[in-house]
Chains A and B, each alone.
Chain A
Amino acid sequence: MSIDLETTTPAIGKQKGRGLLPTLYQNVWRWHFYAGIIFAPFLIILALSGSVYLFKPQIEAQLYKDMLTVREVGTTRLAPDQLAAAVRTENPGLSILSFSIPSDAKSTVKMSIVKNEVPTTLYADPYTGRTTGTLDTDKTFTELFKKLHSQLLLSGTLPNRIVELAASWGVVLIVTGLYLWWPRGKFSIWGTILPRLGKRGSRQFWRDMHAVPAFWLSLLILTLILTGLPWSGVMGKGIDNIANSTNTNYPENAFGAGSLESVTLAKDVAEDLPWATENIPVPASAVGGYVRLSLNEVAAIADRQGVIKPYTISMPDGKAGVYTVASADDRPTNNATLHIDQYSGAVLTDVRFADYGIMGKVIMLGIAFHEGKLFGLANQILGLIACLGLILISAGSYVMWRKRAPAGKLGAPNKPRDKKVTIGLLIIMGALGIIMPLVGLSILVVLAIDLLVIRRVPALKRWFSA
């Protein structure tokens, strides 16, 4: 198979023939090609679902307007205890698990409740005490896109791992893509930083629609992928472990719940926690025949401790449980996680953004950026541009591939003969595989298939240009 590199990449024609650089180019191109063919569909799904989920606040404010917004802003708000009592009167048999204090005067109050053993979310008007509605937060419109984004609408661990695998290979695609894009020979603006739009529909046109936007958006897309990885199952856990072992995550003595009497983690008993404090151990309240504090008292403590609204008060879990006040506000710098003795009101733990280590801070800022919350609408628009760009880049690559692929063959770049370069690149890929374990695992699987199947079946060998 002959590959016309000159049409696909400006100035690459001069590197035709034998030599280190053309061989390296050919190898990188093969990795980029196969990774793109396999993972571009997943990246399109992630970009599409992400672009919708970015605008969750605006979408939900419209879809559930009557539930999330009060009809009329009154002069005085009911205190938390009074509002909780009104809700219980209106909905007998209900127990409240958490109570959120909003910052916006127009917002209703969100409560996590259990009614008839079914957990759900209830909203109430803080001026009238009226329940405005209940919502299964797992089944909202935007939650559908969140599930698509994080687990492809499927349940179990495997879909989440596939998403992580695709995102990790997204990093490889960006790195290899930038190498392929890098101008070689005589520099020309056209085809490098500006697309050549003259021959519409040509391979050159689609190559530029793929490579040029990819160059411009590479840093943004890379940032979005990297800021999403803390949520992932394998790499996310690794990031958390590194942050904990270097004491750069959140303040926790001895960095292990095993050193504490309690092994309950904050995420097991509290809601709306910042990512950085999800795994902090929960202390115990001192039991001794005392009466539990009221919601009003806990809210007053939170206010006096300078916790910025909105925040959520999670109820104590059992007699030795604690109240947890958590603020996972859009601005990470407002993050707060307080555990309060349910009887004495003593603040047992108090973790703020300023207390996080460097990794905790960077990850929290990254998560806010990933979700479009760090700097408002501009952040959302930036995220949208990256998502739409990623869809264009991925779709463009498919058109480009279909235009180039000869009949009866995959159209993959030929395998270079220089084994030294191939092995050298494999070592680099292996290093990436160590950083991103699922990438490493998938490389091993691909190598095994290549050695055991593709190379032994001539038809497959031809089809894959192996």
Chain B
Amino acid sequence: MMKKKMTLAGISLLASASLLLGGCQANTSGQDDKGMIPHLTVDLQIPDKLKPGEASRFTILVEENGKPYDEFYKTNFQFWPEDGSSPAVSAEAKLTAPGTYTVTQPASTEGVYRVKFSGVSSEYEIMPSKRFAIGANAIEHLAELEKQSDAAPAAPAAPHH
């Protein structure tokens, strides 16, 4: 009887110690195998060939830990010329497949442009952007810009309306 009581007491003590130690430990809940908290990964796709005046389809695939994510309550694409010569144009992104948001936007005149996707959910916020070129001269200019941006600091934000 005494032995049983001692065993029970020992188990209780160990359990309490584990609970106490657990409360003292660092919070690692929700981290993946690389130590990162859950986050979104994106693939912003720009049409290969863009011609002035023609409508083009811009798509972004959003994943959370490898699975499509479509919990955003606010999504939009913004377009503006890289030189900031005119204000940004905003278009609402449509969910066309799980984790896939698209917008069809008529291409403007020749030049280098920026497209930026903004997605906001209760858990996440993402804002990836890419440059794209319309016209042969603009493609060369874009290549130059990409070279420069390798060494450049922060990129300028979208111009205000």
Residues of A within 8 A of B (CB): 81, 84, 88, 95-96, 246-254, 259-261, 280-281, 283, 286, 288-298, 301, 304, 315, 319, 341, 343-350, 354-360
Contact in complex: A81, B37 (CB < 8 Å)? no
A residues less than 8 Å from B17 (CB atoms):
none
Contact in complex: B130, A289 (CB < 8 Å)? yes
Contact in complex: A301, B24 (CB < 8 Å)? no
CA distance A346 to B42 in the complex (A): 9
Given contacts A253-B28, A288-B44, A347-B124, 16 further A-B contacts (CB under 8 A): A251-B26, A252-B26, A260-B35, A261-B34, A286-B41, A290-B44, A290-B128, A290-B129, A291-B155, A293-B154, A294-B155, A297-B157, A301-B125, A346-B42, A346-B126, A357-B24
A residues less than 8 Å from B26 (CB atoms):
247-252, 355-357, 360
Summed over the interface, the residue pairs from A and B with CB atoms below 8 Å come to a total of: 123
Pick from B37, B130, B131: contact of A347, CB below 8 A.
B37
B104 interface residue (CB < 8 Å to A): no
Residue of A nearest to B123 (CB): A347
Contact in complex: B154, A295 (CB < 8 Å)? yes
Contact in complex: B39, A346 (CB < 8 Å)? yes
Contact in complex: A81, B34 (CB < 8 Å)? no
Contact in complex: A355, B27 (CB < 8 Å)? yes
B150 interface residue (CB < 8 Å to A): yes
CA distance A298 to B125 in the complex (A): 11
B109 interface residue (CB < 8 Å to A): no
Q: List 30 A-B contacts (CB under 8 A).
A: A81-B154, A81-B156, A81-B157, A84-B154, A246-B21, A251-B26, A251-B35, A252-B28, A253-B28, A253-B32, A254-B33, A259-B34, A288-B44, A290-B44, A290-B128, A291-B155, A292-B149, A296-B157, A297-B157, A341-B39, A344-B126, A344-B127, A344-B128, A346-B39, A346-B40, A347-B37, A350-B37, A355-B27, A356-B27, A358-B24
Residue of A nearest to B132 (CB): A289
A residues less than 8 Å from B128 (CB atoms):
290, 343-345
Contact in complex: A248, B25 (CB < 8 Å)? yes
B side interface size, CB within 8 A: 37
B51 interface residue (CB < 8 Å to A): no
Q: How far is the CB of B157 from chain A (nearest CB, A)?
A: 5
CA distance A356 to B23 in the complex (A): 11
CA distance A298 to B26 in the complex (A): 26
A residues less than 8 Å from B154 (CB atoms):
81, 84, 292-295, 298, 315
B66 interface residue (CB < 8 Å to A): no
A residues less than 8 Å from B150 (CB atoms):
319
B residues less than 8 Å from A293 (CB atoms):
127, 154-155
Query: Sorted from nearest, which 7 A-B pairs have the closest CB atoms?
Result: A358-B24, A253-B35, A357-B26, A355-B27, A346-B39, A251-B26, A344-B128
B residues less than 8 Å from A88 (CB atoms):
153
Residue of A nearest to B34 (CB): A260
B residues less than 8 Å from A345 (CB atoms):
125-128
Interface secondary structure of B, over-half rule = loop
B residues less than 8 Å from A347 (CB atoms):
37, 39, 124
Q: How far is the CB of A368 from chain B (nearest CB, A)?
A: 19
Residue of B nearest to A358 (CB): B24
Q: How far is the CB of B63 from chain A (nearest CB, A)?
A: 11
Residue of A nearest to B82 (CB): A291
Contact in complex: B28, A294 (CB < 8 Å)? no
Pick from B34, B40, B125: contact of A283, CB below 8 A.
B34
CA distance A349 to B28 in the complex (A): 11
CA distance A251 to B41 in the complex (A): 22
Pick from A290, A294, A346: contact of B157, CB below 8 A.
A294
Contact in complex: B153, A96 (CB < 8 Å)? yes
B residues less than 8 Å from A290 (CB atoms):
44, 128-130
B97 interface residue (CB < 8 Å to A): no
> Which of B21, B36, B130 has most A Cβ within 10 Å?
B36
Pick from B41, B114, B153: contact of A291, CB below 8 A.
B114
Q: How far is the CB of A297 from chain B (nearest CB, A)?
A: 6
Contact with A along B124-145 (1 / 0, CB 8 A): 1111111100000000000000
Q: How far is the CB of B26 from chain A (nearest CB, A)?
A: 4
Contact in complex: A281, B35 (CB < 8 Å)? yes
Q: How far is the CB of A454 from chain B (nearest CB, A)?
A: 47
A residues less than 8 Å from B86 (CB atoms):
none
Q: How far is the CB of A376 from chain B (nearest CB, A)?
A: 28
CA distance A283 to B37 in the complex (A): 11
B residues less than 8 Å from A360 (CB atoms):
26
The answer to whether residues A357 and B31 also contact, given A290-B128, A344-B40 and a CB cut-off of 8 A, is no
